[in-house]
Amino acid sequence: MTDISVSKTSFQVEKLSWLLDRGGFEQESITLDISAFTAGTHYPNGYIPSGANLGKITATGLYGPYDDTATDGRQVFRGHLGISTKVPNPADTTKDAGAPLCFSAVVKESKLPFALDAAGKADVAGWIRYV
């Protein structure tokens, strides 16, 4: 039997205004540790926004939000989230998500969804240029 019930799907409008040089950026595939992110702060609408600042969790190799005061590896800034990424199940944060990490680009700092401190910028000096 065919299911013709009404369903609802939400989408995120992509905002790449933070990325100034679309022809000269580089990305790599990573996995986000969704449990490291905070629902109301990092994904209030179910999506982690593109441009989010990321650090790599040493013990797992997964990525979480960059935090200069962390002690799990996330204190080293690795790059920005390349596209908005849907949190698979906000009620079950053990489900991780694949995403692209933008590690080389020209970035308009004022358009980033989260502020980046001087220590984070120093971590990627030579790879990411901020204007």
| Mean confidence (pLDDT) of the chain | 92
pLDDT at 53: 98
Band (4; pLDDT cuts 50, 70, 90):
confident
* Digit-coded pLDDT (tens) for 6-53: 766 667 778 899 999 766 678 899 999 999 999 999 999 999 999 999
Please list, in sequence order, all residues whose beta carbon lies within 8 angstroms of the beta carbon of residue 35, skipping any fewer than 6 positions away.
93, 94
pLDDT at 2: 65
User: Domain boundaries in the chain?
Assistant: 26-130
Outline where the chain has alpha helix (H): 39-42, 118-123
Of 12-16, 58-62, 111-115, which gets the smallest average pLDDT? Answer: 12-16
CATH of domain 26-130: 2.40.300.10
